[in-house]
Chains A and B, each alone.
Chain A
């Protein structure tokens, strides 16, 4: 399964778009990109996932590059409540659950 690389931390001004990058250069054709976030001392929360097309839901947008080697999670108007650790995970069909890895993620701080 492909590994992911994320910056350890980022800041974003309140009201601005937060763009969180994820590198997954070894991703294979049947692997999806999933994003979760974890607010301090709470359980992680599913945000969005995609294969190769851009995806949007009520929480965020996911932009996957054409070569699928990287992606960006976009929070269009960040609020203080978006301060959290964001995890990018690559998962393939048929992946055993013990291969689903939540790495250290990116700690996003939304600043007033």
Chain B
């Protein structure tokens, strides 16, 4: 089945460590996104990528980094510079031939806890 996978579902790290969250899609979508969600809040955009080897900062990019070496993959690294990394991280994609670029398909999310 086509879709977006994120792994792992739960992730625990010690403060000061970098951690990379995986996001893979087999929908042949051009655009991919990373969002952060804190309890009771909406989604905030971290980074987005419209094509391979190109990406742009969203509203809260500080302390995060991404790469887009393949169309299917858009990993997010949470660096030690991110002051409050504990959150629910969501990956999304859009831009298939038959859909609007604003119809975003989301993965199941990764819940990161840093202690």
Q: A43 contacts the other chain (Cβ, under 8 Å)? A: yes
Contacts of A95 in B (CB 8 A): 102
Contact with A along B47-89 (1 / 0, CB 8 A): 0101000001111000000000000000000000000000010
- Closest chain-A Cβ to B60's Cβ sits at a distance in Å of 10
Chain A positions 23 through 56: 1 when the CB is less than 8 Å from some CB of chain B, otherwise 0: 0000000001010100001111110010000000
- A-contacting residues, B16-49, CB 8 Å: 31, 33, 35, 40-45, 48
CB distance from B69 to the nearest CB of A (A): 20
Complex formed: what's the CA distance from A105 to B42 in Å? 7
Tell me if B109 and A41 are in contact (CB < 8 A): yes
Interface of B is mostly: strand
CA distance A32 to B101 in the complex (A): 12
Question: Any chain B CB within 8 A of the CB of A13?
Answer: no
How many A-B contacts are there with CB distance less than 8 Å? Answer: 58
Instruction: Report whether A46 and B104 are in contact in the complex, using a CB–CB cutoff of 8 Å.
Output: yes
Contact yes or no, A98 B90, CB < 8 A: no
Q: Do the beta carbons of B103 and A104 come within 8 Å of each other?
A: no
B42, chain A: closest CB distance, angstroms: 4
Interface size on A, residues (CB 8 A): 21
| Shortest CB distance B108–A (Å) | 6
Of the candidates A43, A100, A105, which one forms a contact with B102 in the assembled complex, judged by CB atoms under 8 Å apart?
A: A100
Minimal Cβ-Cβ distance residue in B for A97: B48
CB-nearest residue of chain B to A92 = B102
Which A residue sits closest to B111, measured CB to CB?
A41
Please give 17 more A-B residue pairs, beta carbons under 8 A apart, in addition to A44-B92, A97-B50, A102-B44: A34-B103, A41-B88, A41-B111, A42-B108, A42-B109, A43-B91, A43-B92, A43-B106, A43-B108, A44-B43, A87-B42, A91-B102, A98-B56, A98-B58, A100-B102, A102-B35, A103-B42
